[in-house]
């Protein structure tokens, strides 16, 4: 398969003849985003590829729609041009896009087209913060893709929690696209809303993918752990775990 990290969470995945885009964010740098409940962030790095320069897409994998660092204005404008948008059930209702389809964790959909390998997409559990915060932060899912003998996991914005560990315990993953960054806000103190670098290493150690690609840890000001935290975790990790984590060059198609 081939992956292109556009920036932030946005990654173009090419597998079995399908082109899938995760969490489209194409606004330029310099914008401010309010996430609700007094939390916000500034975008400091723009996308490496403009939305109009993307190849034709078959589907968008949208982990959630309620935060501008996962779906911004330019990304939202892209959705009506894509045949299918797979996302949470609440997002599918809100988006008002004909091709939007909501999945609860554990639910699957099979994509089939002549001349392409069948692609199974299964929603995986994600929790965008500590226990009991879902009413505040909203629903999030990840995605497990199975196509042409390859299994790809997109974690979505999540912390490391029991349901996720249980769901992935017996899954053989080839490529894991793992959202990192250790999101934190001044208003809520030490509470983390996404994986830190150390937690990402723990998840890689649990899942043991052939390769893990960290994304969504740079480009916005709310990444308290960020690249530095990921570097510290990688430096402290065992050699076999560290060897399996690969940071992609931004904007470059990379075979995995």
**Mapped to the 3 state alphabet, what secondary structure does 106-166 carry?**
CCEEEECCCCCCCEEEEEEECCCCCCCCHHHHCCCEEEEEEECCEEEEECCCCCCCHHHHH
Cβ proximity of 193 and 159 under 8 Å: yes
The one-digit pLDDT tens for each residue of the chain (256 residues) are 999 999 999 999 999 999 999 999 999 999 999 988 788 999 999 999 999 999 999 999 999 999 999 999 999 999 999 999 999 999 999 999 999 999 999 999 999 999 899 999 999 999 999 998 888 889 999 999 999 999 999 999 999 999 999 999 889 999 999 999 999 998 888 899 999 999 999 999 999 999 999 999 999 999 999 999 999 999 999 888 999 999 999 999 999 9
Going along the chain from its start, the domains and CATH numbers come out as: 2-24+47-255 (3.60.15.10)
Instruction: State both tokens at 12.
Output: 């173009």
DSSP state at residue 40: E
Q: Which residues does 135 contact at the CB level (< 8 Å), separation at least 6? A: none
Of the candidates 42, 45, 32, 43, the residue with the CA atom closest to the CA atom of residue 5: 45
């Amino acid at each position: 398969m081939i992956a292109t990290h556009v920036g932030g969470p946005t990654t173009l995945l090419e597998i079995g003849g399908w082109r899938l885009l995760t969490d489209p964010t194409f606004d330029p740098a310099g914008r401010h985003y309010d996430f609700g409940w007094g939390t916000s962030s500034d975008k400091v790095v723009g996308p490496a590829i403009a939305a109009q320069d993307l190849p034709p897409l078959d589907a968008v994998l949208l982990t959630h729609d309620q935060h501008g660092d996962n779906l911004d204005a330019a990304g939202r404008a892209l959705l009506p041009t894509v045949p299918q948008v797979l996302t949470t059930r609440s997002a599918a209702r809100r988006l008002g896009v004909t091709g939007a389809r909501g999945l609860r964790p554990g639910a699957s959909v099979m994509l089939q087209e002549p001349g392409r390998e069948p692609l199974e997409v299964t929603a995986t559990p994600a929790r965008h913060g500590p226990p009991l915060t879902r009413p505040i932060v909203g629903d999030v899912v990840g995605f497990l893709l199975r196509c042409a003998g390859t299994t790809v996991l997109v974690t979505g914005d999540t912390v490391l929690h029991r349901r996720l560990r249980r769901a992935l315990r017996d899954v053989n993953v080839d490529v894991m696209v793992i959202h990192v960054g250790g999101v934190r806000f001044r208003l809520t103190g030490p509470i983390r809303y996404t994986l830190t670098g150390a937690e990402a290493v723990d998840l890689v150690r649990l899942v043991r993918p052939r390769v893990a690609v960290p994304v969504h840890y740079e480009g916005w000001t709310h990444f308290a752990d960020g690249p530095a935290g990921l570097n510290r975790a990688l430096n402290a990790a065992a050699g076999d775990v560290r060897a399996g984590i690969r940071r992609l060059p931004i904007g470059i198609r990379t075979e995995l």
